[in-house]
A and B are shown apart, each in its own frame.
Chain A
Amino acid sequence: MNEEERLKVLEEKAAELRRLAEQDGLDLGAELAVLERKIAELRRKLYAELSPWARVQLARRPDRPSGLPFVQALCEAFFELRGDRVVGDDPALRGGLARLAGNRLVLLFHHRGSTPEEQRASRFGMASAQGYWKAKRLMEVAARLRLPLLTLINTPGAYPGVQAEAHNVAGAIAACIWAMLRHPAPTVAVILGEGGSGGAVALAAADRVLMLENATYSVISPEGAASILWKDAKVAPKAAEALRLTAHELYALGVVDEVIPEPMGGAHADFAATVEAVREAVLRHLGELSRLPLDELLRARYKRYRHVGAQGPGA
């Protein structure tokens, strides 16, 4: 029996004890406490030792908290803004005006969808050119109104398609990066699930970059790296290790400011707790940033990205 199976058996036993205690009014408190301690220990061990590849799988789960339901749970009020004003709209990258614990801000997020129709429409969260041109437009709205920017990232990457190229998806991503660097108010990015290459970095040039514990952030998908460098897509688990794409590894590299712990079993196991954890972290960072004078904020942001990779960890 492996540890995951053992955990399952222990959990079933605990559930049984609880049922007995309730039905028959038996005092099983001591037995239950022992069992629960064992379960917690085993879970901790299991999830602390998750391989990068296992985390990639968790980050990609379709039931991972993100997208519009996440935004609706996170904010008291959200008013969606749509369209890039030139070509069209994009259901894979959405955004609008929001109120979060009383703060006004502009929110941008990937939406992967939960139904097959939604998932097809959003191409599983791969935004196209109009998505990134819209994002740039919303960043400009936020800049004019001096509103903070919050981005929630969960994308396999920008959509590679003929229309995307014709509408200059590369230019749109570049424009987003530049707009975020110049943004005249605090910016916070949270990687909730997959942070897939250019499609993620377009929304991640922020003052603070936070990651959920099992989220990933990578220059290329492990499958892509495996087929390009190993010429064998099957070695993706190995590529996932080599790429250092997990939250803890990126924190150690100084790329990420905080790793937000997930509920046991992963974010999908407890939607509300995940939202709460993200909300707490975002508000804390926004609070810190909003106390800085604007020139200091911009100087710190600029310095951070000007030196990225040039110095050791934590630089």
Chain B
Amino acid sequence: MPIRKDKRERYVEVEVSGPREPLWVRCEACGELIFKRKLQENQYVCPRCGAYFFLSARERIAALTDPETFREFPPPQIPEDPLGFADQVPYRERLARARQETGLGEALVAGEARLAGYPLTLAVLDFRFIGGSMGVAVGEALYLAQAHAARARTPFVFVVSSGGARVQEGVLALLQMVKVVAGRELLAQEGVPYIAVLTYPSTGGVLASLGSLADVTLAEEGALIGFAGPRVIEQTTGERLPPGFQTARFALEHGLVDQVVPRAQLREELARLLRVLAEEP
């Protein structure tokens, strides 16, 4: 019996006995019942069918960095809810809810760390926080992370998982696209490399700004990469979407990314890349 269903994670937690924290989850793609610890060990990829589930920003950071090396940057001091926005739910309430659900202050976690000994600056979006959307606070944190990387002369790694600009912050969110590109300019001026890792999903204003301007772009297998979401394209144009549209493979075939990397090999591939890109640690 499913006790918690989160569409965004594409698996269902399954209670087998008693009211404890469920030990089993069911893959929505293939129906397999998976021992939860086994799924964690497999970095949230279904061991049977290979379906990719969301990785939280903290899990992503743990998977990509040397143990005990990540030092998080303090969150930027940004006035909240600049438009006083409310739809069916006031934006402030949505923020509070997202904070409670994720334990994060915002959709981006950034800091410095080491990977295979190489120092780097890392920024990771968490899709569970309002769809990993970029508002003023995320834009500011991305700017500051790049400024730090430029100053410290450490490669900048940006892991994208985002639906785009944060609607509740209106044009101020849209203009974060320009702000994060201003940050990208700092890296270019200092000759500091920038690596983008595009995961599920990399869309909208995040892709149409910083997400597309890396020196090296890796797509995680299981990624969705596109400016407009598949539903929007179907509804606006009536076009039938070709099989495999906007997958990592599609992006590779159309020349949008340098490599497609399975999640389990991402750390290794980044290390291999840093060997040719970074100065020796």
Mark A residues whose CB is within 8 Å of B: 158-162, 164-171, 173-175, 177-178, 181-182, 197-198, 201-202, 205, 217-220, 225, 228-231, 239, 242-245, 250, 253, 255, 302, 305-310, 312
Residue contact A171 to B256, C-beta cutoff 8 Å = yes
A245 and B85 alpha carbons, distance in the complex (Å):
12
For B167, B185, B242, the residue with the greatest tally of chain A CB atoms inside 10 Å of its CB is: B167
Residue contact B241 to A201, C-beta cutoff 8 Å = no
25 contacts between A and B (CB under 8 A): A158-B228, A159-B237, A160-B232, A161-B228, A161-B233, A162-B233, A165-B227, A171-B212, A173-B227, A174-B211, A174-B212, A177-B178, A178-B184, A178-B213, A198-B208, A198-B227, A218-B174, A219-B165, A244-B83, A244-B170, A255-B175, A302-B185, A306-B179, A308-B178, A309-B135
Residue contact A309 to B176, C-beta cutoff 8 Å = yes
Which one of A181, A198, A217, A250 contacts B182 once the chains associate, using CB atoms below 8 Å? A181
By a CB distance below 8 angstroms, the chain B residues around A231 are 88
By a CB distance below 8 angstroms, the chain B residues around A165 are 226-228, 233, 245-246, 254
A165 and B234 alpha carbons, distance in the complex (Å):
13
Residue contact A306 to B182, C-beta cutoff 8 Å = yes
| Nearest-Cβ distance from residue A177 to partner chain B, whole angstroms | 5
Residue contact B169 to A309, C-beta cutoff 8 Å = yes
Within 8 A of A (CB), among B237-266: 237, 239, 241-242, 245-246, 250, 254-256
By a CB distance below 8 angstroms, the chain A residues around B111 are none
For A158, A197, A202, A302, the residue with the greatest tally of chain B CB atoms inside 10 Å of its CB is: A197
Q: Is B86 in the interface zone, CB < 8 Å from A?
A: yes
Residue contact A162 to B182, C-beta cutoff 8 Å = no
Which one of B76, B88, B171, B254 contacts A255 once the chains associate, using CB atoms below 8 Å? B171
Closest to A302 in B: B182
- A242-B83, A244-B170, A309-B136 as given contacts; A170 in contact with B177, CB under 8 Å: no
Map CB proximity to A onto B27-71 as digits: 1 under 8 Å, 0 otherwise: 000000000000000000000000000000000000000000000
Counted as pairs of residues, one from A and one from B, with CB atoms less than 8 Å apart, the total is: 177
A169 and B212 alpha carbons, distance in the complex (Å):
10
Q: Is B95 in the interface zone, CB < 8 Å from A?
A: no
Residue contact B181 to A220, C-beta cutoff 8 Å = no
- 17 more CB-based (< 8 A) A-B contacts, given A168-B255, A219-B165, A306-B179: A160-B232, A162-B241, A162-B245, A173-B212, A174-B210, A174-B213, A201-B178, A219-B205, A228-B167, A230-B87, A243-B83, A244-B83, A244-B171, A302-B182, A308-B172, A309-B136, A310-B136
Q: Is B201 in the interface zone, CB < 8 Å from A?
A: no
Task: Give how many B residues have a beta carbon under 8 Å from the other chain's beta carbons.
Answer: 59
Q: Is B204 in the interface zone, CB < 8 Å from A?
A: yes
Chain A binding surface, main DSSP class = helix
Q: Is B236 in the interface zone, CB < 8 Å from A?
A: yes
By a CB distance below 8 angstroms, the chain B residues around A170 are 207-208, 211-212, 226-227
Residue contact B209 to A162, C-beta cutoff 8 Å = no
| Nearest-Cβ distance from residue B109 to partner chain A, whole angstroms | 19
Q: Is B13 in the interface zone, CB < 8 Å from A?
A: no
Q: Is B221 in the interface zone, CB < 8 Å from A?
A: no
Within 8 A of A (CB), among B104-156: 135-136, 139-140, 143
By a CB distance below 8 angstroms, the chain B residues around A175 are 212-213
By a CB distance below 8 angstroms, the chain A residues around B177 are 174, 177, 198, 201
Which one of B140, B167, B174 contacts A310 once the chains associate, using CB atoms below 8 Å? B140
A220 and B232 alpha carbons, distance in the complex (Å):
12
Closest to A312 in B: B79
Which one of B143, B208, B242 contacts A162 once the chains associate, using CB atoms below 8 Å? B242
- A161-B233, A178-B181 as given contacts; A198 in contact with B83, CB under 8 Å: no
Residue contact B172 to A169, C-beta cutoff 8 Å = no
Q: Is B173 in the interface zone, CB < 8 Å from A?
A: yes
- A162-B242, A174-B208 as given contacts; A229 in contact with B172, CB under 8 Å: no
